[in-house]
Structure 1
Amino acid sequence: MKWIFRLLTAAALLTVAYMSLRPSLAVGGVPNMDKVLHFGAYGFLAGLARLGWLRIWGGWIFLGLAVFGIAIEIAQHTMALGRTGSIADTVANLGGAACALLIFHFLWTRYQR
Structure 2
Amino acid sequence: MAQFEAIVEKFAALAWGPWLLVLLTGGGLFFLLYSRLIPFRFFKHAVEILSGKYNNPDDPGDITHFQALSSALAGTVGMGNISGVAIAIYTAGPGAIFWMWVSAIVGMATKFFTCSLAVMYRGR
Superposition TM-score, scaled by structure 1 size: 0.32
Q: Which has the larger radius of gyration?
A: 2
In the superposition, the TM-score normalised over structure 2's length comes to 0.30
